[in-house]
Amino acid sequence: MNLPTPVRPRVAVHKFSSCDGCQLAFLNLGEDLLTLASRVDLVYFAEAGPLDIDAEVEVAFVEGSVSTPEDLERIQRIRAHSRVLVAIGACAVSGGIQGLRNTADSATWAAQIYSHPEAIASLAHSTPVSAHVKVDFELWGCPVNSAQVLAVVKALLLGVAPRDNADKVCVECKRLGYPCVLVARGIPCMGPVTRAGCGALCPSLGRDCYGCFGPAENANTDALSAQFTRLGLDPQAVVRRFQSINSQAPAFREAAAKARTASDE
């Protein structure tokens, strides 16, 4: 007796300008990856093997920023073939660390590094995926972790919207019982304005948060900038705090601009 084959959702994982760290969140799932592979059809995932880039999929995960003319064309193709598109990681949701070139003369940088800079095909700016196509869900982090990815996949398989964790790192520190490095030790820390998701990794080691997971909901960057100043940071040092991994996230970009204005006065 020939029984009908169950229809499994088709999933794609795409890479743009990035370090591959967010894709590794899939590969590091271990046994859960085998379970996932039994429930979905991975039709495109270069690091895992499948390479059908134009396959119609229910869910497409995209890592990396749009940084080249080729990227512009490719992201449109991916969007056209995807029912749901999920941007994963700082590069895909805010332009990533390479977004730092948005405030500089990138052509001059290329000329200083490469003997034939004319061979470098790049856009003037590094931009998030949402600047070019509709994004259905954004998963922040640098990189995202396996637990986050698995939670999003499970939610989508159940047909419900994934949960957006917009709590602050400070909430994680309190839940886990970690002393506040900002208050207890006077160390400038981005935790009060950074979204949770990392498990407060750096504060757990007595170090300050670097803002890897981007701006939290209702991030009071003005208050934190003032606190940084009270702790002895000059305006340029404050700028550098916000101009890092998620420098192009609006809340952090605006905070850096305000600190830069203060530096010029």
Query: b/e for 95-126, b at 16 or more Cβ within 10 A?
Result: bbbbbbbbeeebeeebeeeeeeeeeeebbebb
For range 42-47, the mean pLDDT: 89
- Band (pLDDT 50/70/90 cuts) for residue 165 is confident
Residue-level pLDDT at 2: 47
Residue-level pLDDT at 4: 44
Beta bridge partners of 84: 59
- For the ranges 41-50, 62-71, 166-175, 190-199, which has the lowest average pLDDT? 41-50
Q: What is the helix (H) or strand (E) element at residue 149, kind and residue range? A: helix 146-157
Tokens 């332009």 locate to 95
Sorted by where each starts, the structural domains of the chain and their CATH numbers stand as: 10-157 (3.40.50.700), 169-264 (no CATH)
In the predicted model, is pLDDT for residue 139 greater than 50?
Answer: yes
Assigned token pair, 174? 């309190």
In the predicted model, is pLDDT for residue 6 greater than 70?
Answer: no
Q: Give the global pTM.
A: 0.90
- Band (pLDDT 50/70/90 cuts) for residue 265 is low
